[in-house]
Structure 1
Amino acid sequence: MTLRWNDSIKLLGGRFISKSLFLILRLIFLFIQKISWTLSGVSDVVDKNKELEKLGKKPTAQALKLLSFNKFCFLLPASLRDFILQHDEYVDPEYVIQNDHVSLFFFDPHQDVAVFGEGKPGQKMWHTDIGDSFISLSLYRFSQRLIVQKKSVVLMGNTARCGSTLLTQVYECSNKVICCSEPYPFNTLAEMYREKGLCSEVSQMTTNIIRMYCRPLKCMPDVEGYLLKPSGPSFACAAPIHAVYPEITKSFYLYRNMHNVTLSIYKLSFIHPIIRLVYLLAGFSGAAVTALLRSAQFPTDGTNRTISNCHTSGIMLATLATKMYMIMKNEGLDVTGLLFDDILANKELAAKRNEFLVNRRAIKGTVSTLKMKEY
């Protein structure tokens, strides 16, 4: 495994130039938009809700047409700064709950708002068949509008590149399980939990996220369960979910032979700038690598060191994701480790030992939760 400088320059330089031009264009657009909104009387959702609050009226959400987006690296947290948006209308906050083609996208790190992605009517934004393996990438590609709502609100763990996407698609093929693969809000929840512990704010955030992703859908009336798959470094979100919804009796953590994971991560470095930067900087500056990993929300204890080769760098990335499993295990979370290689070796036995059963109960409204039972 070697890194060619022309590949690195093409990836990093190309993304940097593209993002810079996008931000310049967005800045010009926002300047013109601000003048237009001032003249037309349109304000953003925060200002609008302040006006409604003074009048004693119900808060609202702002629907914005998505004109364009540019993301330097999809491993970085999502933000409204990634988009060029045009005001469309104000909608009732219940709109995001009542429509199957609307899904929670992310919590903006720069504003106190929740952002929902809206596709075409009837489109299953959470389903991998629409074009991407992860719900967050699907929402980037297929959202026609973003619905911005003031944030009064707010499990399969994996080591990454370990077959978790394939396993998610297997459950989807049953047409009985709704799978949400690596949504951004789980990253936010995990970060909040690591910083604040199980406080009331984290509990409320957990409740709202689960209500959103595990709500009944008109397009799938006979759902038998929900599979929630956070990204590798965000597995800490399992702790508050277990605490708030103890009916979810078990989580499992999927892992794979580390050498195979490392080879797969190396291939990812050709499309994800953050991973490529980790490989390039690992031999020179442990502090820079730590900063990059922190920006991608990995646990960074012990990462401030130089690494001599790409294979070892890949092992480090895989180990950091696996570390979340050990952290949760040490904190007392009931989580079972599952080796993907064992599933491939005996597919029928693996399917029998990891069968999902439904547990339909009303949890402060209408929420169905997932149980995993081992026979």
Structure 2
Amino acid sequence: MAIRGIKLKFFKHCIYLVIYSLFRCCQLVFWWLTGVQSHLKSCRNGENYESSAQLLKVWFHSSGRIINFSLRHHFMSTHVNFVHPNYALQKHITLMTVTDKEAIFSIQGECDDVLNVRKWPFLNVGHPTTAKHLLIMPISSMIKLGEELGDPKAKVIWIYHTARCGSTAMSQVFNSLPDVVSISEPNCLFSLDMAFKEKYFEKRKVHGLLLMNISKSIKMPSGCW
């Protein structure tokens, strides 16, 4: 039964990818005609930092994917405008995925709390489900923003490898404590770890990325940066 479910998910995702490929081709042509693509290219080259973050409206996301990481092509989205990278510092915006080329933020509705561990015990499930918009910026912009934020002033505690041993309950207990934010399975850290193992980043760049990951994914309370 489990194998059948996996096959069905894979089949649904394959259909989605075919539709997305056609949509993406049309989108790239439109972006080329309207100048969006040229601006994106300049941002990837380290230019136009103040407008290097792209805001996208999400119309649909693939729920049939098997891998955990939420990437750009898992969302059917359209361009809204370009904004400053510090747009990502708003309360209802959380870091979703980091690749070797870009950082992807999930923007939830103001009433959606993706860090509510009782409703969303795993962040990698809550992110794609609640995303109303995406904010995507080049990795160079994220590194610069992370360095501008500096080290978080709040204490950060890492709990590693507690799968299948009550980690969900433990996360909920920690989250019930005052002035504590507990999250489970933040994919932005997993994807950064994979990119580091593939040697996409130098140690200096990883430090800046970790600052941004901690500040945004762990969502420090106001005044803790």
Q: Which runs of 5+ in 2 are unaligned?
A: 144-157
Q: Distance in 2 between matches of 1:125 and 1:92?
A: 23
Contact 1:135 1:181 in 2 (8 A): yes
Look up the match of 1:171.
Answer: 174
User: Is the alpha carbon distance of 1:117 and 1:44 closer, same or farther for their aligned partners in structure 2, counting shifts above 3 Å?
Assistant: farther
Contact 1:45 1:150 in 2 (8 A): no
Q: Distance in 1 between matches of 2:94 and 2:65?
A: 21
- Per the alignment, in what secondary structure is the counterpart of residue 202 of structure 1? helix
Contact 1:135 1:183 in 2 (8 A): yes
Look up the match of 2:148.
Answer: none
Look up the match of 2:115.
Answer: 126
TM-score by length of 2: 0.79
Q: Distance in 1 between matches of 2:22 and 2:74?
A: 14
For the pair 1:79 / 2:77, whether they are aligned, the reply is: no
Q: Distance in 1 between matches of 2:41 and 2:184?
A: 33
Q: How does 1:139-218 map to 2 (within 5 A)?
A: 139-152=127-140, 153-154=142-143, 155-194=158-197, 199-214=203-218, 216-218=220-222
Contact 2:55 2:133 in 1 (8 A): yes
The structure showing larger relative contact order (alpha-carbon pairs under 8 Å, at least 6 residues apart) is 2
- Per the alignment, in what secondary structure is the counterpart of residue 91 of structure 2? coil
Offset at residue 187 of structure 1 (A): 0.9
Offset at residue 51 of structure 1 (A): 8.5
Offset at residue 9 of structure 1 (A): 5.0
Contact 2:50 2:85 in 1 (8 A): no
User: Is the alpha carbon distance of 1:69 and 1:45 closer, same or farther for their aligned partners in structure 2, counting shifts above 3 Å?
Assistant: farther
User: Is the alpha carbon distance of 1:135 and 1:57 closer, same or farther for their aligned partners in structure 2, counting shifts above 3 Å?
Assistant: closer
User: Is the alpha carbon distance of 1:57 and 1:165 closer, same or farther for their aligned partners in structure 2, counting shifts above 3 Å?
Assistant: closer
Look up the match of 2:52.
Answer: 60
User: Is the alpha carbon distance of 1:161 and 1:74 closer, same or farther for their aligned partners in structure 2, counting shifts above 3 Å?
Assistant: farther
- Per the alignment, in what secondary structure is the counterpart of residue 115 of structure 2? coil
Q: Which residue identity is paired with 2:27?
A: Q
Offset at residue 69 of structure 1 (A): 1.4
> Aligned to 2:95, which of 87, 104, 107?
104
Q: Distance in 1 between matches of 2:10 and 2:198?
A: 31
Contact 2:40 2:52 in 1 (8 A): no
- Per the alignment, in what secondary structure is the counterpart of residue 109 of structure 2? coil
Q: Percent identity?
A: 21
Contact 1:127 1:135 in 2 (8 A): no
Which portions of structure 1, spanning 4 or more consecutive aligned residues, are displaced by more than 6 angstroms?
A: none
Look up the match of 1:28.
Answer: 22
Q: Distance in 2 between matches of 1:151 and 1:211?
A: 16
Q: Distance in 2 between matches of 1:48 and 1:199?
A: 25
Aligned length, in residue pairs:
209
Look up the match of 1:239.
Answer: none
- Per the alignment, in what secondary structure is the counterpart of residue 85 of structure 2? coil
User: Is the alpha carbon distance of 1:45 and 1:78 closer, same or farther for their aligned partners in structure 2, counting shifts above 3 Å?
Assistant: farther
User: Is the alpha carbon distance of 1:49 and 1:163 closer, same or farther for their aligned partners in structure 2, counting shifts above 3 Å?
Assistant: same
Q: Which runs of 5+ in 1 are unaligned?
A: 1-6, 222-365, 368-375
Contact 1:120 1:144 in 2 (8 A): yes
User: Is the alpha carbon distance of 1:150 and 1:45 closer, same or farther for their aligned partners in structure 2, counting shifts above 3 Å?
Assistant: farther
- Deviations along 1:241-272, one digit per CA (max 9) or x if unpaired, are xxxxxxxxxxxxxxxxxxxxxxxxxxxxxxxx
User: Is the alpha carbon distance of 1:211 and 1:102 closer, same or farther for their aligned partners in structure 2, counting shifts above 3 Å?
Assistant: same
Contact 2:71 2:104 in 1 (8 A): no
Contact 1:103 1:126 in 2 (8 A): no
Larger radius of gyration: 1
For the pair 1:38 / 2:27, whether they are aligned, the reply is: no
- Per the alignment, in what secondary structure is the counterpart of residue 43 of structure 1? helix
- Per the alignment, in what secondary structure is the counterpart of residue 120 of structure 2? coil
Offset at residue 38 of structure 1 (A): 2.8
Offset at residue 133 of structure 1 (A): 0.9
- Deviations along 1:102-136, one digit per CA (max 9) or x if unpaired, are 00000136xx110000011253322224x321112
User: Is the alpha carbon distance of 1:60 and 1:101 closer, same or farther for their aligned partners in structure 2, counting shifts above 3 Å?
Assistant: same
Q: Which residue identity is paired with 2:92?
A: H
Q: Distance in 2 between matches of 1:57 and 1:161?
A: 43
